[in-house]
Structure 1
Amino acid sequence: MRPSPSSAVAVAVEAPTASTLLSDYKELLKPGITAFVVVMAAAGYLLGATGPVDWVVLLGLMAGTGLTGGGAAALNHVVEREHDARMARTATRPLPGGRMSPSHATTYAAVCVVVGAVVLATTTNPLTTGLALLTVALYVGVYTPLKRTTVHNTLVGAIPGALPALGGAAAATGALDAVGWALFAILYLWQLPHFYALAWMFREDYRRGGFRMLPSADRGERTLAAMVLGASLLLLVAGVLPAAVGQAGPLFLAGMAGLGTAFTIPAFSFFSEPTDARARRLLLASIAYVPAFFVLVVADFLLR
């Protein structure tokens, strides 16, 4: 069902130029999220590696993961274009803004996914390639429609969000081993406070867009706050698992223990009194967690 003129956010439509087209191509890939999954795939490779870096594998992993993940993000733009048109935060995106047709964006997304899969297949292994394609299928085919049917969609969406780390470890080992699953757990748990903070901050916008997010459910605000705290505490435990299984050293162990402890502070604060300001601090803490985690992974690899 197309949004009515009264429900859609009015935006000025400009004639596309070469520069705006390139900008729109970039926006369709959701570069922030795509960069994140690329970093996590690289972290998975470095933690899983038992010898020197195979740069062909690592660079192929990063390029292929970026293309398949970006292609999935572009397909998400296509599927959610009418809902995005209702929200001020997303109304100016390429499709609801009228600068690109759905068929154009779909073709672009498909090319990204196919090229990414080919890069992964030729530089890594079938397991890593399969996990990347599974990520696309789950993100677009399962998580995206669930956002309009259940407030617990984030619990499902965190699965494709965590698969790139598992794929990175598989690129190094050729198997689904303990370190890969440990990384999957870290990334899965990290996403819950991150995206619940966003769901809280933009809860009214999500309602206008027709997305069912946890704050809109009965007692959803307290449930969300409790899940933020629970996920943060579990993340503290999951963060040290790579060291517990013998794939990381004492620096990583100490660093992750400190990082996980620091992350629980804004989570406890938000749990005690959920407010927009505390949700924003939680979001910023989750954003800072990623580069700190990657620095620890690289440092641990270099010290082996």
Structure 2
Amino acid sequence: MTDQPRSLLAALPLSAERRVQLQACWELTKPEITFQVTLSALAGYLLGCPEGLNGWHLLGTLTGTGLTAAGVGALNHYLERDYDAAMRRTARRPLPSGRVSPTTARYLGMLLVFAGVGLLCPVANALTAALAIATVLLYLYVYTPLKRRTKYNTLIGTIPGALPALGGWTAATNNLDVGGWTLFAILAVWQMPHFLSLAWMYRKDYERAHYRMLPVVEPDGRSTAWQTLGFTALLLPLGVTPYLVGVAGPVYLVGSILLGLYFLRPAVAFFRTRHVQDARRVLIASVVYIPALTGLIVLDWLLR
């Protein structure tokens, strides 16, 4: 949890117990992931909106997307609470630590999802709301259980992970044109090195919780290293496709190439060494990638 929400909670006239519960509820929403998801929706919206931006429409779209993502995060905590308890990295999360009850997490998640989808349908459009519903169902009831059944779970999980970016495009255009699919492809491919590097760093933890992550199933790391490098390299040509299809300009083109090279460097190092330190560098680069890409799209949009 960031320092800012902590300080805000400390300023409220609440009991210590209530502050702990509110802090736990905030953590349930996976704020870092929710932020990334909302940024991807912003990127999609701006790519689909070449001129005449409606600020309230954009705000409603991002709010609905963020609420839905936060609800999915809380429900994911609820579904995986027993597995989180078995992992050192996640044992201090709100449910395994007992700071909040499973019932609270479930109802909070449902409330946020209903609020997010309920906002997207009238404010954005029905297509965007449908994509949000698909994201919820695919993430919670396809990707989440597959994490304990097949090593291909990460690849399958790229679909719900990339749908919010496509939802940003559909909110602006109300269609599924090629421009939206280019961003969907970028977000889908980006997730592979992001999650593979994380899985390599915590492979022992995942093994304790009986997750079928690729580094657990193939512990020598050869396939993990190859896929991390391959998908990161694929981002270089994919990153320029918004320019090639005419939804982004030259500022975006140059920036996306430089950003792709920045991401590729730690992936090459990890491919060579398979060291945890290099996996961490890949993870850090992946966390930088989406905000930086969104920043390029914003700058390119402002300069049109």
Give the TM interval when normalised to the shorter protein: over 0.9
**CA distance in 2 between partners of 1:67 and 1:291 (Å):** 19
Corresponding residue of 1:180? 180
* Matched-pair identity in %: 51
Deviation at 1:187, TM superposition (A): 0.6
Corresponding residue of 2:151? 151
Deviation at 1:127, TM superposition (A): 0.6
**Superposed counterparts of 1:1-304, under 5 Å:** 17-218=17-218, 221-304=221-304
**CA distance in 2 between partners of 1:21 and 1:130 (Å):** 32
For structure 2, list consecutive stretches of 5 or more residues without a partner in the other structure. Answer: 1-14
Q: CA RMSD in A?
A: 1.3
**CA distance in 2 between partners of 1:169 and 1:187 (Å):** 13
**CA distance in 2 between partners of 1:108 and 1:219 (Å):** 37
For structure 1, list consecutive stretches of 5 or more residues without a partner in the other structure. Answer: 1-14
**CA distance in 2 between partners of 1:220 and 1:154 (Å):** 18
**CA distance in 1 between partners of 2:32 and 2:54 (Å):** 26
Q: Secondary structure at the match of 1:17?
A: helix
Deviation at 1:220, TM superposition (A): 5.7
Q: Deviations over 1:195-253 (max 9, x none)?
A: 11100001111111221111112366111111111101111111000000011111111
Corresponding residue of 2:5? none
Q: Deviations over 1:168-190 (max 9, x none)?
A: 00111100111100000111111
TM-score normalized by the length of structure 1: 0.93
Give, as a single letter, the amino acid of the residue that structure 1 aligns with 2:22: L
**CA distance in 2 between partners of 1:65 and 1:291 (Å):** 16
Give, as a single letter, the amino acid of the residue that structure 2 aligns with 1:26: W
Q: Secondary structure at the match of 2:221?
A: helix
Deviation at 1:50, TM superposition (A): 2.4
- Number of aligned residue pairs: give it: 290
1:214 touches 1:220 (CA, 8 Å); kept in 2? no
Corresponding residue of 2:10? none
Q: Deviations over 1:4-37 (max 9, x none)?
A: xxxxxxxxxxx98111111111111100000000
2:38 touches 2:66 (CA, 8 Å); kept in 1? yes
**CA distance in 2 between partners of 1:75 and 1:28 (Å):** 8
Q: Deviations over 1:142-174 (max 9, x none)?
A: 011001111121001111110000000011110
Q: Deviations over 1:66-102 (max 9, x none)?
A: 1111111111111110011111111111111122222
**CA distance in 1 between partners of 2:57 and 2:239 (Å):** 25
1:48 touches 1:247 (CA, 8 Å); kept in 2? yes
